[in-house]
Amino acid sequence: MPAEPEPPRRRRPWSTSGWLLLVLLVVFAFGLIASRPPSPPDQGPPTGDVLAAQNAVDALVHPGPHPDALAKLPKDFTALSGVTPGAMTARDGTVRAVHTDGGCSTPWGDDNTKWDYAVPCKAHDLGYDLLRYADRKGHPLGPQAREALDDRLSYDMHHACDLNPMNSAFTCRVVASLYSAGLVVNSWHQRWGPPVGDPIGPMVAGVLVIGCLLVFRLRGWLRAR
């Protein structure tokens, strides 16, 4: 006697949590894209103090045995920015110009990690201070300046995993990649322009509220089907 054919498998409908996740992701992505500022206008080659700031950024991303960026800083940099720069030796032996009070920024505060990304992060902070300085002078540096600073920090963090693996080189590289991804997302969101303090907390809270309201309505619609 031939076996009875198996009934066709029915696709399980998405659960409410699945719809919640999808809606939140879509709303968050839309909010992230819609909140990007306009690109800074191209103002041509920099001159004077802004040119000095650009030269200091170039020195920061090409470190060597001396903190050359310190000698290239604009004369009024500290007065205008409130930043007192210094010099620190990195694990690779190069001497970096740094923002001495800086660090590796995270949502929970500065975290230089156990692999000690501190010196590269402090140098990166000084570079961002120079980008803000140029903006306050009325001539923002081009997007390539911020991209070069981010690339330098990403390289330094990954290189730290070779110089100071702390018996966990793989985890170090994962953490370095997460930091690097955060840099790229933040700089992309600001169109590689001058670094500003984005209201991420209020934006995320607003997105969550909107997403939850949409899911609540969607849940009622699904039940009515």
What is the reported pLDDT for 213? 61
With a cut of 60, say whether residue 69 has pLDDT above it: yes
The answer to whether residue 1 scores a pLDDT higher than 80 is no
pLDDT tens per residue across span 10-44: 555 556 566 666 766 776 666 667 667 777 777 88
Q: Look at domain 48-194 and name its CATH class.
A: mainly alpha
Query: Is residue 42 classed as helix, strand or coil in its secondary structure?
Result: coil
> Which conformational region is residue 191 in: left (phi greater than 0), alpha (psi within -120 to 50 degrees), or beta?
left
Residue of 57, 68, 71, 203 lying closest to 135 (CA atoms): 57
Q: Give mean pLDDT, residues 176-192.
A: 93
- What distance in Å separates the CA atoms of residue 165 and residue 80, rounded to the nearest whole number? 39
Of the candidates 58, 53, 62, the residue with the CA atom closest to the CA atom of residue 155: 62
